[in-house]
Amino acid sequence: MRGEQGPMSVQFPRPGPVLKGVLIAMAAFGIGGALLHWTDFGAYLLQALVFIPERFLHRPYEVWRLVTSGFLTGSFSQLLFTGIGLYFLSPDLERRWGSKRFAGFLAASVALGNLLVLAVDRIPLTSPIFHPAFVAGPTAAITAIAVAWAQGNPELEVRLFFFLPVKGKYLFWASVAWCVIPLIYGEQTSDGVAAPFGGVLVGMALGGAPTILRRTYLELKLAILKRRAGDGGRAVTRASARKARAGGPALRVLPGGLEEELKKREPPNDKRYLN
């Protein structure tokens, strides 16, 4: 047994290039937006990047808003906790998926979250939480990452808020519950109450290995191949063969071969050699 123990070391994850860019952009927009909030330039920048449901209906070509709104944060606490969540959960996903897939995953989660906000806004609901004037925030992205990480690591533990150990399979349900809480309390959020559910859908659809979309495609392809290998496949094969014969040249029997040669031979006088 060792008499002394060395200093305990904590190994922090190494973010990939996409995660580094996202964290830098969020910090720049979060801190810079707070400093420029009261200026004309800050107001113009905010109007150019946020997602405005009513405006998007009349100007659908402003598609960048579906993604750029995810880089904005409503407060310093949101910026801090979102950055921590991205830093500790995202490196594993970017390392396994690659930077290109990871970037598309983040963009899809924010975009689908905003589209859900737009769809819910069209429903005639009385509560104002379903009809935000504009939305901005990365909640959909961090929710999608938590769901995807939980699917890929169901038995691994992550410490929520640095002290609460939670396995991946329970982190999934905690993420879903986090989406429902604003609905229960009727709280308006900067992202819109529907946006986190877009993150859940993207995390479930694109976060597995293989993903639900690819698994569904493979199962459908397998079912088609099994059907072709059954009676339906044989019927198609027979029909194709008949069609090929009908369009081909007429068949005829050519004389010759061993049987024809044997018929021409005379039987020997000595029958002993026949056996």
Query: Cβ contacts of residue 264 below 8 Å, gap of 6+?
Result: none
Domain-located, residue 76? yes
Place of tokens 């690591």: 153
Domain-located, residue 273? no
Structural domain span for residue 110: 17-217
Tens digits of residue pLDDT in 125-169: 989 999 999 999 899 999 999 999 998 888 887 776 666 778 888
Domain-located, residue 9? no
Domain-located, residue 72? yes
In 3D space, the residue among 58, 68, 199 whose CA is nearest the CA of residue 135 turns out to be 68
Domain-located, residue 237? no
**Which residues on neighbouring strands pair with residue 228, listed in sequence order?**
none
Distance CA 90, CA 84 (A): 10
Tens digits of residue pLDDT in 226-272: 888 875 555 555 555 565 555 555 556 666 666 666 666 666 666 55
Domain-located, residue 248? no
- Per the structure, the count of domains in the chain is 1
Domain-located, residue 234? no
Domain-located, residue 210? yes
How sure is the predictor about 4, in pLDDT bands with cuts at 50, 70 and 90?
very low
CATH of the domain at 166: 1.20.1540.10
**Which residues on neighbouring strands pair with residue 68, listed in sequence order?**
none
Distance CA 162, CA 77 (A): 16
